[in-house]
Amino acid sequence: MTILVTGGAGFIGSNFVLDWLATGDEPVVTLDALTYAGNLANLSPLDGDARHKFVRGSIGDGALLGGLLRGHEVRAVVNFAAESHVDRSISGPAAFFETNVMGTLHLLEAVRAYVAGLDDAARASFRLLHVSTDEVYGTLAHDEAAFAETNPYKPNSPYAASKASSDHVVRAYRETFGLPVLVTNCSNNYGPLQFPEKLIPLVIHNALNGKALPVYGDGLQVRDWLYVGDHCAALRRVLEAGAPGETYNVGGDNQKTNIEVVRTICALLDARRPRADGLSYAGQITHVTDRPGHDRRYAIDARKLERELGWRPAQGFERGLAKTVDWYLGNEAWVANVTSGAYREWVARQYG
Ligand code: NAD
Ligand code: TYD
């Protein structure tokens, strides 16, 4: 038995692969295109580990996928591969539709052909888990109920629209071709190995480098933060016991405004690595122009996952954020490696 993890060199994918092999022995094949967001160093703890094989390639490459599925007798696919950053989807939407929609389509086609060739028992137990986002549901007013699986899709950014489209294609393959798919829609993740274009690692990185901490607009937008290890545990549980064709929301039940998150990071850094001048990192907070179409609030109702599969987040936010800050402080070589050329060009374009 082997699982195929696509996009497994990115933030959540690499945490998932590392956790998978730390909690069991079933081999993993990781397929990743190694875009700017994919980093082989994320998987370096698995160097020399016979249970893990890395292949560089795209989910858009049907022939490669077919070979991997058959060659490794894959029994499940977990699809993390995507363009994932909202701001990049605003400055260049096309790549999001190419990877997130067309890439997912090619993956589904390869899986469909593979599953058709399996014997009855293998076909019955095969699963494709498509990892998606709460952003497909759009935005919530401050007093609206959290997103349930039954909420209509109302994506507002090109990223969210591309993920929503991919979810629809996955659903269509279930309805039309009977593919045994599972979909998860998760809230914002944080934790080790997150590329420093996303809010939390960007703020840590900028703070330590004496740069502005850019807060979009008034900073009162709300996100429902989930520790990445909790997301990985949810995905393992859905893969193990989720009902094919079902969608599960995954969230931290942990709504925070952006400014609150940024201030908490500043306080953690003040305690751990005080600025030379003795002042707080909070002095570096700078309100900048808001993101176009910026969703005001996300909140996830994850009761279905708890009720049906018994999953709950285990990591509290304060402790989880402290662990994350400590990870970045202890892994400055990793940060230096990923914040090389392509990263610097992005920051210059985005923040001027
Ligand atoms: P990420 O950008 O860190 O990683 C994406 C990975 O996919 C990278 O390693 C990249 O190289 C790879 N990739 C891109 N195009 C590919 C292609 N054509 N073929 C193969 N690999 C390709 O993203 P992430 O934050 O780890 O998110 C992973 C998945 O989880 C995404 O689908 C995202 O939509 C979803 N998600 C993310 C969050 C979050 O907070 N980060 C929350 C909910 C859902
Ligand atoms: P981000 O980490 O990009 O995730 P998402 O847009 O998928 O929720 O952003 C989290 C929140 O932080 C979002 O409301 C946008 C905001 N944000 C800033 O205020 N400044 C920044 O520099 C970034 C990257 C994000």
Pick the CATH number of 2-187+227-251+294-315 from 3.40.50.300, 3.40.250.10, 3.40.50.720, 3.40.50.170: 3.40.50.720
Contact predicate 325/265, CB 8 Å: yes
- CA-nearest of 26, 32, 27, 25 to 8 is 32
Residues with CB under 6 A from ligand 1: 6-7, 9-13, 31-35, 37-38, 58-60, 80-82, 84, 99, 103, 131, 133, 163, 186, 188-189, 195
The pLDDT value recorded for residue 216 is: 98
Residues in contact with ligand 2 by the CB-under-6-Å rule are 86, 188, 198-199, 202, 214-216, 221, 223, 258, 291
d(CA 288, CA 214): 6
Instruction: Output the pTM of the full model.
Output: 0.98
> In this predicted structure, what is the pLDDT of residue 349?
85
Residue pair 349/90 in contact (Cβ under 8 Å)? The answer is no
Supply the residue whose CA is at minimum distance from atom 9 of ligand 2.
Answer: 199
Q: What is the 3-state secondary structure (H, E, C) of the chain?
A: CEEEEECCCCHHHHHHHHHHHHHCCCCEEEEECCCCCCCHHHHHHHCCCCCEEEEECCCCCHHHHHHHHHHCCEEEEEECCCCCCHHHHHHCCHHHHHHHHHHHHHHHHHHHHHHHCCCHHHHHHCEEEEEEEHHHHCCCCCCCCCECCCCCCCCCCHHHHHHHHHHHHHHHHHHHHCCCEEEEEECCEECCCCCCCCHHHHHHHHHHCCCCEEEECCCCCEEECEEHHHHHHHHHHHHHHCCCCCEEEECCCCEEEHHHHHHHHHHHHHHHCCCCCCCCHHHHEEEECCCCCCCCECCECCHHHHHHHCCCCCCCHHHHHHHHHHHHHHCHHHHHHHCCHHHHHHHHHHHC
Sheet strands side by side (includes 2-6): 52-56, 28-32, 2-6, 74-79, 127-133, 181-186, 247-250
* Structural domain spans, the chain: 2-187+227-251+294-315
pLDDT tens per residue across span 144-164: 999 999 999 999 999 999 999
Q: Are strands 255-257 and 222-224 parallel, antiparallel or unpaired?
A: antiparallel
Whether 190 is catalytic is no
Q: Which regions in the chain score pLDDT beneath 70? A: none
Q: Per residue in 278-306, pLDDT tens? A: 999 999 999 999 999 999 999 999 999 99
Whether 135 is a known active-site residue: answer yes
Distance (Å, rounded) from C-alpha 5 to C-alpha 158?
25
| pLDDT value of residue 289 | 98
Residue 149 appears among annotated catalytic residues: no
The C-alpha torsion from 137 through 188 and 229 to 341, rounded to 10°, is: 130
* Ligand 2 centroid from CA 121, angstroms: 44
Distance CA 289, CA 229 (A): 32
Calpha distance 17→337 (Å, rounded): 21
- Compute the distance from residue 109 Cα to the ligand 2 centre, in Å: 33
